[in-house]
Amino acid sequence: MKGKKCRVIEDYESPYTDPLIITKGETLTIGEKESEWLGWIWCTNKFGESRWVPEKYLEIDRNMCKLLQDYNATELTITVGEELIIEKEEAEWFWVTNQQGKSGWVPIKHVKII
């Protein structure tokens, strides 16, 4: 999918205003938050900041986990008609870059490949 274009077919507003970047090897606490998205785990860092992290990026041990690679948890707010460039795909989400150069995660069901 890398480098393919997609068009937003349904608005999505990120519930998070601040980006969260987590580094490989960081230890996180696993939360109890339910999600409609399979393959994502609610994690909290040592500063009390929480975000969704792809399960395959984690080494899980009971209610703790260690990040296996650097991870940027930014979600992008998008509006119908926008064109985005796909960088990668994880568990029903794309990491995309918009025409203003901002990058973040968006739900796949909100876009259509063009």
CATH number at residue 99: 2.30.30.40
pLDDT of residue 43: 94
Q: Structure tokens of 22?
A: 């987590």
Residues 50 and 79 in one domain: no
Task: Band the pLDDT of 35: cuts 50, 70, 90.
Answer: confident
For residue 43, the enclosing domain spans 22-72
The mean of the pLDDT values for the chain is 94
Residues 39 and 63 in one domain: yes
Q: Considering all CA atoms of the chain, what is the largest pairwise distance in Å, rounded to the nearest integer?
A: 43
Residues 57 and 90 in one domain: no
Could you give the number of structural domains in the chain?
2
- Is 13 exposed, middle or buried (CB count within 10 Å of its CB: 0-12, 13-18, 19+)? exposed
% of the chain at pLDDT higher than 70: 100
Instruction: Average the pLDDT over 53-70 and give the result.
Output: 96
